[in-house]
Amino acid sequence: MLTSFFGKSIPLNYLILGVFIVVGYLLGAISGSGVVISPYLLLVHGFFIILSVMSMLLLDFIIRKNHLTKNNTFVILFFTCFMVMLPVIFLQPKILLANAFLILALRRIMSLHSDKNSSKKILDAGFWITVASLFYFWSLLLFVPLWIAILQKPNSNYKQMLVPITGFLAVLLINTAYQLLVYDSFAWFFNWKDPISFDFSKYNSPSVLVPVTVILGFYIWTGMYRILRLSAVSLKEKSNYLLLLYVSITCFFIALAGPEKTGAELLFILAPVSIIAANYIENFDADRYRKKDITEVWFKEILLWLVVILPFVFLFL
C-alpha cells in the first residue's frame, strides 16, 4: 500500500521522487520546448533540474524542522506529483526561481513560532521574498503572512514589524547597484511591476485544465478538512496550523495575480497544498479508522494512487 510505503521516511523514497522529477522535467521541458539542444542549454536544464529537486528537499526540511507533519514523505510525494502533472511548469524558469526563493522564505516564516534569533529570521524572510519578486513581482504578497507570523510569535514588538522592510530595501539597493554597474540604467525599477492578467484562454487545453482541476480539487477538499478540524488542534499548534492556511491563501493570490496564465503559476501553491494534503492523508486518528471505518482508509489509498498515476497520464495529454 502506498500509505504504508510513503508513510515512512527512508532514503529510497527520496531517490524515487528525485528520479521522478528528473524524468518529468526531461519529458516536460526538454521534449516539450522544441528547441535544438546545445551544450549551453544542457547546462541550463541541468541547473533547473537540480533546483527542482532541491526545492523538494528543502520543503521536506521545513516540515521536519517545524513538525508540520508526522515522520513520513507524503508532502514531497504530493509536491513532486503535482509538479509533474503540470509539465508546463518546467518551461517557466522565472517561476521556478521565484518559487525556490519563496520556499526559502517559507522556511523562516514557519520557524517564527520559536523566539530564537527572531530578527534574523524575519530579515532573511523579507530578503528572500524580495529576491523572488525580481523574477515574479507578485511574490511580494508573501509579506502578508510574514507580518501575521510576527504578530503571532512570542514577545512580538513593533520594531520587528519593520525588519522585513530592511530586507526589502537591501535587495533593492543591491539590484540597483548591479543594474547601474552592468547596464548603466535604472529602467528595471519601472518595469518591475507585472500587470495582472485574467486571460485564462490557455487553460482550455486538456493538458492544463485537467491537472489544474485536480490540484485545486485537492486544495478545496483538504483545506475544508483542515478548517473543520481547527477546534481539535491544541493551543500550542494552532498558530502554525492557521499560519499555513494564510500562506496557502496568499500563494493562491500570488498565482492569480500573474501576468500570464499558463498553468505554471500554480507552482506557488504546491508547497502549502502538499502539506495540507499530507495532514489529511496521514490522519492523526488512523488507528480509529482502521478499526471502525475501513472505507476511509481505502479512500485515502485510492487518492494516493490517483496522485501517483495521473502525472503519467497528463504527460501524454
Mean pLDDT of the chain: 88
- C-alpha 138/C-alpha 179 separation (Å) is 21
Q: What pLDDT score does 288 carry? A: 47
Q: What pLDDT score does 283 carry? A: 66
Is the pLDDT at 284 greater than 70, yes or no? no
Is the pLDDT at 217 greater than 50, yes or no? yes
Return phi, psi of residue 54, to 5°: -65, -35
Q: What pLDDT score does 286 carry? A: 47
Decide: helix, strand or coil at residue 317. coil
Is the pLDDT at 289 greater than 60, yes or no? no
Q: Which among 169, 166, 148, 136 has a CA at the least distance from the CA of 262?
A: 136
Q: Side chain identity at 264, as an amino acid letter? A: A
Is 109 exposed, middle or buried (CB count within 10 Å of its CB: 0-12, 13-18, 19+)? buried
- C-alpha 130/C-alpha 128 separation (Å) is 5
Q: Where are the beta strands (DSSP E) in 47-127?
A: none
Question: Where are the chain's structural domains?
Answer: 2-314
Give 3-state DSSP helix, strand, coil % of the chain, rounded to 5.
Answer: 80, 0, 20
Give the lowest-confidence range in 68-77, 216-225, 283-292.
283-292
- Per-residue model confidence as pLDDT tens digits over 19-72: 999 999 988 776 666 666 778 888 988 999 999 999 999 999 999 998 888 889
- Per-residue model confidence as pLDDT tens digits over 153-180: 877 788 889 999 999 999 999 999 999 9
Is 37 exposed, middle or buried (CB count within 10 Å of its CB: 0-12, 13-18, 19+)? exposed
Is the pLDDT at 285 greater than 50, yes or no? no
Cell representation of residue 111: 520557524
What Rg do the C-alpha atoms of the chain give, in angstroms?
20
Cell representation of residue 193: 511591476
Is the pLDDT at 187 greater than 60, yes or no? yes
Q: What pLDDT score does 110 carry? A: 92
Q: What pLDDT score does 165 carry? A: 95
Is the pLDDT at 257 greater than 50, yes or no? yes
Q: What pLDDT score does 229 carry? A: 85
- Per-residue model confidence as pLDDT tens digits over 88-133: 999 899 999 999 999 999 999 999 887 788 899 999 999 999 999 9
Is the pLDDT at 82 greater than 60, yes or no? yes
Please report, in angstroms and rounded to a whole number, the separation of the first and last CA atoms in the chain: 27
Q: What pLDDT score does 34 carry? A: 60
